[in-house]
């Protein structure tokens, strides 16, 4: 499932083509994805100007004139691919469930083979209370997110720190890949009790989270299975992974035995170096 860097990459690609343009026509080719889409989706989108495209956690938010906001989630296999004006028409794909035609000829296709994605609508004044967004924790790239904020969220939690980082109520947008990578960079064992990550440890982890996410965004995210950028290109950060997916290989920091190990935490694979991470 796309994590924060992948969603941020998509948001930046969409913003370049959507902001200031009007949605001229909408094709809604099925009523549902993971859940039902709004029955009035077409009517509320057609003719509206796009004022902004932004991200909250792993959700894409498209602000429309008049105060409506599109909430989109890519799910497991979702992608949004842009065809620019004058490009040869794409062959209709049976998994193009929603297609937007902008007033300059740009076409955006929400394609989702497994249909685990979501598209919903909310009023901007109700956004923070929307069931998909209510209770989500701070954004890790927000300057206000620092070591003390993270330590306060982890205080008293006896769960493993890796599991805690995947809890969207603690910090928004971090998934399995970037939790593994940030913990390795911060030299923290994924099994360490979350409540022990305070003080210098919390400061170190926040810096690692920021650095890993920033570098991943610059690389266009990590392409696993279905994820592509809005241009159709793959992301490249998977080539910079230090531990994720590298079971049995040498640690890229210490290059010593034992090699990178894999364990299962909460049903997810965790990759780490037993020598570097304590």
Considering the candidates 3, 6, 8, 181, report the single residue annotated as catalytic: 3
Question: Does the annotation mark 79 as catalytic?
Answer: no
Q: Using CA atoms, how far apart are residues 198 and 14, in angstroms rounded to an integer? A: 38
3-state secondary structure at position 149:
helix
DSSP at 184: H
Residue with tokens 């810096």: 207
3-state secondary structure at position 246:
coil
Burial 187-209 (b: 16+ CB within 10 A, else e): bbbbebebeebbeebbbbbbebb
Question: Does the annotation mark 27 as catalytic?
Answer: no
DSSP at 91: P
Considering the candidates 12, 21, 268, 275, report the single residue annotated as catalytic: 268
SS3 labels along 187-220: CCCCCCEHHHCCHHHHHHHHHHHHHHHHHHHHCC
> What Å distances lie between residue 127 and 59, 70, 131, 149, 193, CA to CA?
12, 10, 9, 23, 34
Question: Does the annotation mark 28 as catalytic?
Answer: no
Burial class (CB in 10 A: 0-12, 13-18, 19+), 80: buried
Considering the candidates 48, 58, 79, 162, report the single residue annotated as catalytic: 58
Considering the candidates 2, 5, 140, 190, report the single residue annotated as catalytic: 2
Question: Does the annotation mark 58 as catalytic?
Answer: yes
Q: What is the CA radius of gyration of the chain?
A: 20
Supply the residues annotated as catalytic: 2-3, 58, 268
């Amino acid at each position: 499932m796309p994590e924060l860097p992948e969603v941020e990459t998509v948001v930046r690609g969409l913003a370049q083509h959507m902001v200031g343009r009007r949605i001229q026509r909408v094709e809604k080719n099925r009523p549902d994805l993971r859940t039902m889409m709004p029955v009035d989706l077409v009517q509320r989108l057609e003719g509206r100007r796009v004022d902004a495209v932004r991200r909250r956690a792993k959700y894409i938010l498209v602000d429309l004139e008049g105060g409506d906001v599109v909430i989109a989630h890519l799910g497991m296999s979702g992608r949004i691919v842009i065809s620019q004006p004058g490009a040869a028409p794409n062959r209709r794909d049976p998994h193009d469930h929603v297609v937007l035609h902008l007033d300059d000829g740009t076409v955006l296709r929400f394609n989702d083979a497994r249909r685990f994605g979501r598209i919903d609508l909310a009023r901007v004044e109700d956004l923070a209370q929307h069931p998909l967004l209510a209770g989500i924790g701070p954004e890790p790239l927000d300057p206000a997110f620092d070591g003390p904020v993270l330590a306060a969220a982890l205080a008293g939690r006896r769960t493993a720190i890796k599991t805690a980082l995947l809890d969207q109520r603690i910090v928004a947008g971090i998934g399995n890949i970037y939790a593994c990578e940030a913990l390795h960079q911060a030299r923290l064992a994924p099994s360490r009790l979350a409540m022990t990550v305070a003080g210098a440890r919390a400061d170190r982890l926040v810096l690692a989270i920021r650095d890993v996410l920033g570098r991943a965004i610059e690389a266009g995210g990590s392409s696993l299975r279905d994820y592509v950028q809005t241009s159709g290109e793959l992301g490249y950060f998977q080539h910079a992974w230090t531990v994720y997916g590298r079971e049995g290989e040498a640690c890229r920091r210490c290059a010593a035995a034992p090699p990178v190990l894999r364990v299962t935490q909460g049903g997810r694979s965790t990759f780490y170096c037993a020598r570097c991470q304590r």
